[in-house]
Amino acid sequence: MTIPSMTVPRISREELKQRLDAAPAASSPVVIIDVRLKYPYEHSTVTLPGALRMGPGHLDSSRLPRDRDIVLYDSDPEELVSSRVAQELLRQGYRVSVLAGGIGDWVAAKFPTDSKPAPQASAPAPGSLKG
């Protein structure tokens, strides 16, 4: 027996940008959460403005406000990861939507982003360099 999936509300990049532009970050009625998978997140240098990082397998819903809208995004143009996480949050009673097109569409529109550190190469293990 399969459980029917809920329809996940989508928000367009333009609508999200308008909402972010309408209120200062400190009082924004929208909480943005980056739920990209580990590899796409770690190999990116950008996030949406003010986004919180919660990996899809590590979402701590106790840290989420129930009185504000939550927007999830990932790196998949089909929003597969964010839709799956959103369904779980919807079942728990949160006001959640998914950014249509993910971070790729946001960046393609040249909308503002925040920077995050680029991935760092690991230092070679001692003794692994022969010279």
The 10s digit of each residue's pLDDT in 49-86 is 999 999 888 888 888 999 999 999 999 989 999 999 99
Tens of pLDDT, residues 6-35: 689 999 999 999 999 887 655 677 999 999
Q: What is the pTM of this model?
A: 0.84
Cα 62 to Cα 80: distance, rounded to the nearest angstrom: 23
The token pair that represents 42 in the structure block: 């770690």
Cα 130 to Cα 119: distance, rounded to the nearest angstrom: 25
- For residue 71, the model assigns a pLDDT of 97
Beta carbons of 49 and 112 less than 8 angstroms apart: yes
Q: What are the chain's domains?
A: 10-113 (3.40.250.10)
